[in-house]
Structure 1
Amino acid sequence: MRVRVQAVVAMMALGLLSASIADAWAQQRKPPYYASIAASKARMRTGPGRNYPASWLYQRADLPVKVIEVYNDWRKVEDPDGTQGWMQVALMSPTRTGYIVGGIVELRDAPRGNARINWRAAPGVIGRISKCERGWCWFDVKGRAGYVEQNRIWGTDPGEEID
């Protein structure tokens, strides 16, 4: 019994620690910056509070959003289509993701146009971005990864470098 109580207390402490780390991340960043939707369902609202009507329901975790304004624990965000509204910070993640725009893109094994093609991705595909430099980003779609020209994904600013 005593071991179970200690395990429960340890799990609660770990939960509080991870929540405080996420909250610290959310409080440090100055807009504009990119983030992603962490929840499988997230409502965008017309104002910074639950009393404002929902204008959109996102059902796509990892969708990149651009945070353009901060108000307490609410973030005014813009999605890849340019829609703007308010989202609770608890529904968001600092994980950098990107959204393929334009036509089909080629994920290459090196950051250059003549490198071997690993995969192809269609418009609207979402992947994680772990590194960007010299106009190319490492783009990972559930284990299928490669370099993509930075101007072919929404989720980074032109010329932005990510380590």
Structure 2
Amino acid sequence: MRAMPQRLGLSILILALISMVSAITGSARAQDEETRTGFSGLPVPRFVALKKDVVNGRAGPSLDLDVVVIYRKKGLPVKVIAETSDNVWRRVEDHTGRRVWINRSMLAENKHALIEERTVIFAEPTEEALPRARLEPGVMAKLEMCEGDWCRVKTKDFRGWAEKQNLWGTF
């Protein structure tokens, strides 16, 4: 009979630890989206783009650490979510939610957005405007300008206004 109170105590301790871990990770996720100034003096988070056609994403901020993903699309937007104190490495999140470290020399100003879901682009920044094209998820479009909830984008064949909520690479 004595074992029962000990098991109950252990169960309560485990539940308390799970609650603490959930609270810590939850506040860390909320903090990731909170804008602050990074070691570069620039805001974090912010969008940047891959500077080269081939960019390695690493498990940590060092050339000695494993390459966990190889990006093969120059201009692909990624979100900077952290910077190292020596201002050399950026922790980034890509459109799939994957988080890796990239050397700052492999990043440039962001000028593109990825279409996240099937999106119609319009002649003007309103759904009542003339539709110009339907873009499929994964299409990369040049960002020309954003106004409110809309951005003017350009693909190889089309130019028009898309709702910002359907684009990865803009705030």
TM-score computed with the length of structure 1 as normaliser = 0.75
Instruction: Tell me which of 92, 114, 136 is aligned to 2:150.
Output: 136
Instruction: Tell me which of 63, 83, 95 is aligned to 2:76.
Output: 63
Shift of the alpha carbon at 1:120? 2.0
Which stretches of structure 1, 4 residues or more, deviate above 2 A after TM superposition? none
1:35–1:97: 8 Å Cα contact kept in structure 2?
no
**Is 1:77 aligned with 2:92?**
yes
- Identical columns (%): 27
**Is 1:86 aligned with 2:101?**
yes
Shift of the alpha carbon at 1:143? 5.7
* Aligned residues: CA RMSD: 1.6
Larger radius of gyration: 2
After TM superposition, list the pairs within 5 Å mapping 1:111-150 onto structure 2.
111-142=125-156, 144-150=158-164
The answer for the alignment partner of 1:3 in structure 2 is: none
Q: Which runs of 5+ in 2 are unaligned?
A: 1-38
After TM superposition, list the pairs within 5 Å mapping 1:33-72 onto structure 2.
33-71=46-84, 72=87
Distance 1:34 1:96 in 2: 9
TM-score computed with the length of structure 2 as normaliser = 0.72
Distance 1:118 1:55 in 2: 39
Distance 1:43 1:82 in 2: 16
